[in-house]
Structure 1
Amino acid sequence: MTQLSLTFDAVNEETPGPKWAARWNRSWPAYEAWFIARGGDQGPSRDQCREALKRYMPELVATYDRLVIVAGGSDRAARFLSTWCPPTYLGGCSLAAVASKKDVRLVRNYDLSPQLNEGLLLRTKWSGRTVMGMVEFLWGLSDGINDAGLSIALAYGGRSESGEGFGVTTILRYVLETCGTVDEALVALKRVPSHMAYNLVLADASGRTASVELAPGGGMTQMPIAVATNHQSGKTVAERPAFTRTFQRRAHLEKLRVKPRKLNRQFLKSPLLQDRHAQGFGTLFTAEYNPKKLTLGLTLNGQRWDHGLNDFAEGQRIVDYSQRSVAEDAHSRTEAGPGLVDWSQAALVDWNAVAHDYAAGNGRAISTYFPSGRLNTQKVA
């Protein structure tokens, strides 16, 4: 059975040093295996990767060079850390930003398997600006805030095609290291290409909010309202929409009419909160950013953990999602009806394989993981 727990660490290290090195040593073996298996060694050379950073995000080059040294300096580590034309990866999320005359919030649900998240909240001052956010790929960010009050979060855009560009988590790091307002961030996002389709929501201390769609290989479309889930506008087709429930979640977000301070509550209940952790799609955390107060409130399986950019305290939380998952499985059995998966056999499934295949975009039917001859072949999406 898949391990349904995740350890969250809050770490403060202003420049890359022993704390980041410890995290690298802990996480790199798994990332290296993923990088090799997904064709990373056939990608751009080390020099090409650094040149791409120098061209599009020159302000990050000094930090990148230091990280490569701390990571041991290998060719593969250097190419991995650049995130230039990396292997494809997927995920799920719901995002929204709401502002009033006196208040503003950006809230994000991070939906995936517990085994596919680093569980690291990192506060840094790598390039002179203080940044706090949830780490992906060891130095990129899936969401975060800086000392100017600029906040940003990402959601997978719903299609696995890729183009020449950077991993989006590095782009979010770049925005928070170099920009102070939503308008400045939009200029940067238009210029720096993403290697896959992603949706971003932004908010700043002035109350300005925005949502954009990034296209594989470059290109940005600004959206009319500051919400996002896991599909994009236009003629593009979302992958596994029934499984991710992306259209239902976005429809709910578009109808919301709440004050900023009440936005977070919406993300702690259906249809935004996901409890299918064993299937690789459960809400691991809800992040509530307050750009005016420079704070982050993390909700971890119902428990709140607050952090301030200027009064950051290191700590650790261990979260067990198994009870929530068990409750969801029981509900699935009673509501499944004819032609759906029989969840009574869930204990016999390698859920780790399910989660990793989903994250890799392989698109298999859930029933193929169950004992043969016991189920039909109904697809999850």
Structure 2
Amino acid sequence: MSGSKVISIDAMGGDHGVSATVPGLALALKHLPGDLRFLLHGDQAQIGPELARNAELAGRSEVRHTDKVISSDEKPANAVRRGKGASMWNAVESVKAGEAAAAVSSGSTGSLMAIARLVLRMAVPMERPPLVVPWPGLKGVTTFLDAGANIECDAERLVEFAILGEAYHRVAYGVARPRVGLLNVGSEDMKGHEAVQQAHAILKSGRLDLDYHGFVEGDDLSANLVDVVATDGFTGNVALKTGEGSARYITEELRAALTSSLPAKIAALLARPALRRFKARITPTPAAPLLGLSGLVVKCHGGADAKDFGRSVGLAAELAASDLMSQIERNMSRLGAPPEGAPA
């Protein structure tokens, strides 16, 4: 296999394991280049029967057997100490070895992040990679980071998130010059704590050559006021979970209203195509790339079904075929920060 055309898969990760990951690959085949192949890590006895259901997928896949799996409740520190040889570890290791262009896993976020951080190392000098999520809005998608990886952030970290997010949005959505904003409690220049104020001053200075808009508030996220919103992981995770909870509330209330009477049910039947589009618009994307690593790793959410996992693999393939890594390196060079491990 040529590493540039291979996606490494943690076949055992997530709540559903091979019953979601392998069928997900089969679904992804419909939208992926014909020369793309897969390196599956996990239990041959479980993977084999699933692969046998799809001859095309079997012909484009190689299985690397391991019966070692990192459980969803494994502490990240334990995963790092005892996880070598597990399906998740091996999936990431294949990227480091040049056998694959990207790795995809539905396993524990904390364990995946810790293993990726150890195996691949950071390409930028930060403690751990930020989680990036697409925030749906009225006019498209906003790239939102950090969604929970870096709880405490200083000004330098927030600036790095802005730079990483700008590079990612440009590659993922084809926007030549994404607009960037910092999440804050108000849009006025004097609002916010010290770290936000200092990051604002750096981004506003213009020396990083970003299209910096300034501060944005929580209610601006779905208005697509900017293309990229950077914040610390604590605030970002609270905002993300609030958004997800609000989406579920609206969906359940709408379902209750449309099943409350016979006329309502008839109206719902007639409006089914529009309702499906509505649900797709507000349903969170299952994939979150870990930015800032010296290799591509995509986290799919733990409860992912086959469709979700297939979408995550599609994103990994798209990013692997792009120049995301060079875009990030080019953006980070504006700060004059050498990669981790580089000589001083």
Q: Which structure has the higher relative contact order (CA within 8 Å, separation 6+)?
A: 2
TM-score, scaled relative to structure 2: 0.31
Whichever of the two has the greater Rg, that structure is 2
Query: Which structure features the higher share of strand residues?
Result: 1
Query: Which structure features the higher share of helix residues?
Result: 2
TM-score, scaled relative to structure 1: 0.29
